[in-house]
Amino acid sequence: MITLILSEIISPPANLPSSDSNNISIPGAVVTQNTTSSTTKSPIPLDPGKTARIYANTQGVITQVTALQSTDGLATVNIGTGIVAKDAEGKPLSSITIKAIPSENLPNTSPGASFSFAGRAYELLPDGATFSPGITISFTAPNAQFGQDFLVKMYDSATDTWLDIPSSINPQTGIITAHISHFCCLALFTETVTPESASANTPLPTQLTPKVIAPAPTAMSTFMGMILWVADLIQKNIIIFAGLIILVIAIFLYGRKRRRDRLMYLF
């Protein structure tokens, strides 16, 4: 007996996805889709800055010490009492703000400059604030490398240049202190010290002249020295000495004549 098995051909539904193997859904099968993940580097958030209130009288004289540290803790503005602090309009200053400047926003240095950015840059606000006498801002120095010096500079927008600011460094704490009289953009730089510049700044050793020790004076040397001194004195003042000699001879002759006249009068 022959049994016929009829196979039924089922057409795929009309809404079946395209022939892309990754998008075919098979019942009972687990389909893993290959997805490409792209990691986007998030931008560094801008520093919101930190603000401190200033306590001053109506003339702008600071009555309370103020120390404002930056958000990253690497810079501190120090304002002492007795300092006159005013804004750009000449009014007493009410607050100050320090805000870090990202390196990509820092004004470029001049081509061929001997200094490079050391990773510390801040904007001090309000712009145009003045202080008399000046105040200080201190930086925590990065790890110093051999042959490098730290410099504090302020940016002059009028000339588009970085200008040096008087500063000093404490070798024990690594704190760099700069003195400023107005608010502006400040940055810390390093300057490479070349052997040529180091030798140029090093003073030459002083050449010592051999000291000749004179022998102890004797009576004869002292007498001869006096004679030479008198001879030199007469040579330099010959006219004066000649006049003195003539005067002495005239006095001698006059006195002798007086004695002779007296004797003749007696006899």
Return the biggest CA–CA distance within the chain. Answer: 213
139 beta partners: 75, 176
Question: What is the count of structural domains for the chain?
Answer: 1
Residue bearing the bigger pLDDT, 249 or 35: 249
pLDDT of residue 231: 76
Is position 242 within any domain?
A: no
Is position 31 within any domain?
A: no
Give mean pLDDT, residues 243-255: 84
Give the least confident one: 48-52, 66-70, 112-116, 139-143. Answer: 112-116
Is position 41 within any domain?
A: no
pLDDT of residue 267: 62
Question: Number of helices (H) and strands (E), helices first, in the chain?
Answer: 3, 12
Domain that holds residue 156: 50-198
Is position 248 within any domain?
A: no
Is position 133 within any domain?
A: yes
103 backbone dihedrals φ, ψ, rounded to 5°:
-60, -30
Pairing of strands 175-182, 115-125: unpaired
| Per-residue model confidence as pLDDT tens digits over 193-248 | 655 544 455 555 545 455 555 566 677 777 777 777 777 777 777 787 777 888 88
Is position 91 within any domain?
A: yes
Residue bearing the bigger pLDDT, 194 or 18: 194
152, 96 contact by CB (below 8 A): no
176, 167 contact by CB (below 8 A): yes
Q: The CATH number of the domain where 168 resides is what?
A: 2.60.220.30
Is position 238 within any domain?
A: no
| Per-residue model confidence as pLDDT tens digits over 118-167 | 888 999 999 999 999 999 999 988 775 545 788 899 998 888 889 999 99
Is position 76 within any domain?
A: yes
Does the global pTM surpass 0.75? no
